[in-house]
Chain A
Amino acid sequence: MAQIIIKNLRKEFGAFTAVQSSSFTIEDGEFFMLLGPSGCGKTTTLRMIAGLELPTSGEIYIDGAEVSQKPASQRDIAFVFQMFALYPHMNVRKNISYPLVSQGMPSAQVRAKVSEVAGILGITALLDKPVSGLSGGDRQRVALGRAIVRDPSCFLMDEPLGALDAEFREHMALELRALHDRMGATTVYVTHDQLEAMQMGDKIVVMNHGVVEQFGKPQDIYDWPATTFVAKFIGSPAMNLLEFNDMVGNGATSVRLHETAIEVPEILTGTNGNLTFGVRPEHLHLDDTAG
């Protein structure tokens, strides 16, 4: 249960800057999506929150405490890896109980806690099986079990559905969201799939080339993209973008494209020069009257 504040976070790998001065706040209990194409810095941001990478500069606050230079083991967070990273030499029970054992919890209590978690995830029957024989979905559940068993202050998930079959992903996504609602813990979720982000997230940060492009609620990002990148990245099929050069007067309610006046939903402030007109495909309809 924690609020996470990211302030001017920056990460450089040699000459390459993976994350450039990101700032955003993740509220307590939120299901928060870090969205962007491959190599945009979303995973690096997540790994910095986890403590698996240390930031070059900037601060991270978890629950009010500054943690940016602390090791992962001291941050009280749980991390779900894309490839699950279940310990292959341990069975399911040992995998789930591993974070509790590190805290020195008595074994009777560990057993009780593990069975409780296994019950929530529906994997009680698998507890004494080796992890090597499990299906992708079951591995995912064990990885989630290992994450939730310790009641961490927040969950960090790096494309946790990326390794699953397409049909199973949707099912698992619902399960994940339900689990989040039940636990109420802050969840930070990295994905490159905008559909997943729109469906599951309370808030989304869209990143590109290490820069935060936009930060807000899914619907707001869809309706009011802050940049052309966001406009193109969100929505399927993508938004139509037409560049035009025209003068728009103060208080205008339409723009002119190729001699055609098109009404816009918002009153515009006056501007001049190279402009981009964006329209979502679903907002277009064909008409047989001449324009």
Chain B
Amino acid sequence: MKLKTFKLGGVHPPENKKTADIPVVPVDIPKRVSVIMSQHLGVPAVPVVEKGDKVKVGTLIGEAKGFISANIHSPVSGTVFKVDGVTDATGYRKDAVIINVEGDDWEEKIDKSETLLKEIKLSPEEIIQRIKDSGIVGMGGAAFPTHVKYMFPEGKTADTLVINGVECEPYLTSDHRVMLEKPDEILVGVSIMMKAGKVDRAKIGIETNKPDAINVLSEKAKDYPGIEVVPLKVQYPQGAEKQLIKALLNREIPSGKLPLDVGCIVNNIGTAFAIYEAVQKNKPLIERVVTLTGKGLKKGGNFLVRIGIPAKNLLEKLGEEIPENTGKMISGGPMMGKAINHLDIPVTKGTSGIVLMSEEESKRNIIQNCIRCSKCVSVCPMGLEPYLLEKLAEKDMFEECEKEAIVDCIECGSCSYTCPSSRQLLDHIRYGKQNVMRIMRERRQQ
């Protein structure tokens, strides 16, 4: 049978998933953690604790503000040291609650046991409320508050839940490990989400470079009605929601619309696990799996990390130093992640991995003239013309950028990746896109 995938564009970077076989180990809790209040897309949470307050694991320390926002809970027990600015992966200072760790006391309501709870007792409304209370956000990287996806606008319904187990970014293996180690929990989580979204079928898309995960999940999925595991051809950016829906259901989200407009809810595999813990175990989102990897590292690994622990503690746990010839450090994957300049940044809900690249890998090539080879056009998964958008954005021709649908760009980077002239197409397109979005916002306000 021909494997499913999306039809338009796409690239296949070297996978380099060298940590795929390394089991997840927990990272020791340090003396102090910094929990950033803006770990999600949308409005930052507001700190509800003050200096000197005692907190336990799971205590609410930041309250969601506005519709698109998420609660933040303490990942450790101890005393609030201060509320102050901390630099995160974006390089900006963000408000954070800094906690001095004392012991490891959990809130009593949290069920710390490992027993699998299959029975779903809560009603759909209660589930959504629990997801919201627990501060669950998308674990794939964008960290969009999950409960928003289940609060349908008037008149909209969904018929399919799409679960993203693609992990199309090179190097990263955190989703892969969760699928292998927590398959039952994921499937219960998916069942909970189906109940919350009032859909009777779910499709889990996994690329064929993770055959073990496909096997485990499809075997176990037989016990869960409505859940189907679909193997997908390896192709980047299949983990983008528009491409994933196209691959799994052959539905195309119209330009400027959301998955719900084609009857879909899309969530990451890690989110399914977090929802299981929140709903069945009453455990808020206080930890996640992070991959630490890179060609220069002897081993690399997958770690269960409490939110707020600095990235350098992963390296310590691994027992390695930053390799001598490191040229770039990335929070997230190498295709869409953010370059960071130190490893003191705390792990957040959206940190899927830390990738260390060597100097040779990170060097940008000399930019040459565009030779009009049309490779960027053929790899663009949105059917745009990156070479044209680059030129238009470079010349500040934003009206033309808008006509050429620059806001459709999903910033996957396939164009820059492919360009034989090493042109930084996406840099210019981002600049143009941001300006066009600003112009569109201003127009709406008038």
Instruction: Tell whether A pairs with B.
Output: no
Q: Which residues of A contact B (CB under 8 A)?
A: none
Query: Which B residues lie at the A interface, using CB under 8 A?
Result: none
